[in-house]
Amino acid sequence: MRIRVVGHDGSPVFPFGESGPWASFRDVLLKGGHKIVDGEFGQKVDALIAHNHSLEALKEAYQVPADFKVLVLWEPWIVEKERYKKETLSQYGRVFAPSIEWAERTNAISFKWPQVVISGSFSFDGWNKRDNRIVIVQGNKFSARKGERYSLRRRILQGRLAEKIDLYGTDWNSGFQFDCRVWGSGVVNSSLKDISLSSCFGMGHRYKSYQGAIASKFQVMTKYKFSLVIENSSDYVSEKLFDSARAGCISIYVGPNLESYGLSKDCAIQVRANVRNIEEALYKLTSLPDSHLEELAKSQYNAIKISSLGWDNMKVLPGLAESILEHFKLNS
């Protein structure tokens, strides 16, 4: 088969690279005796794997049966709802999603969000000399839709423990016009019933705790004892928790139930998505003795190292390719 693989940005040529997890995804397709179609849209294709919904790709594949068109969801509904519309999903014979909740919402097959898993050992020597502060490494984002958690981050950053937090990432302190424009674009692309007015909280606010954009998340996070991890929405487990654990931080986590995703509850201190619960958890932690905190950090690190083996991107992405080919085979 001649298979078109659409990139995450909708581009016609997927950047697989020479090696790594996406190259392994490609190799599974090629080992099946198939050819990946390169170049601009408008060629003859026998199957479509879309990592982003693309009208151009669907136009190219208009003669291809629906069962040979696959959509992979990589964004939550709060970010981009076009892919979640019935009229969009109906154009694909099968949908795959790296989230249990997304899969249930779209009648998709779920798989684990591919991670660079924790391997080897981590040295906790000198851990007690880390800053007794909380680090947040996130970009400043807005969504107008219900279920977003961007505004929760901003509420924490303006709350009682703001002076104990160091903030890193892009687009913070960009001004009211920037924030308004980003939030407004979400309003335009949302129906009235889906909009949450509280999602605009903190628009234009300037944060004294902001330390700027960074080149290496790992190097920054290893300076801190605590990391506050708030998922963009509480319906998937992204790389954020893994990044925190990899750096040896104590993770305070706001997201879906970890056990429902096959991760140990000991991977993080999981709290409800509200300011009071988060602040109480952070306050208690920062008051504990270093000896207790270091043991907790080690315990979380070991828990996620053991329970995250199935999330290895060198296994997950080739496995995804195999599942897609199996779907094609069953419908041939």
Q: Residues 71-128: pLDDT tens digits?
A: 999 999 999 888 999 999 999 999 999 999 999 999 999 999 999 988 878 899 999 9
Q: What is the model's pLDDT at position 131?
A: 95
Residue pair 311/117 in contact by the 8 Å Cβ criterion: yes
Mean pLDDT of all residues belonging to the chain = 95
Phi-psi region of 159 (alpha: psi -120 to 50; beta: other; left: phi over 0): beta
Residue pair 202/175 in contact by the 8 Å Cβ criterion: no
CA distance readout (Å), 252 to 51, 69, 178, 189, 300: 31, 40, 29, 32, 11
Decide if pLDDT at 307 tops 90: no
Q: What is the model's pLDDT at position 83?
A: 92
Q: What is the model's pLDDT at position 183?
A: 94
For the chain, percent of residues with pLDDT exceeding 70? 100
First to last CA, the chain: 11
Domains and CATH numbers, the chain: 2-114+312-330 (3.40.50), 127-310 (3.40.50.2000)
Q: Residues 153-202: pLDDT tens digits?
A: 999 999 999 999 999 999 999 999 999 999 999 898 888 999 999 999 99
Q: What is the model's pLDDT at position 227?
A: 98
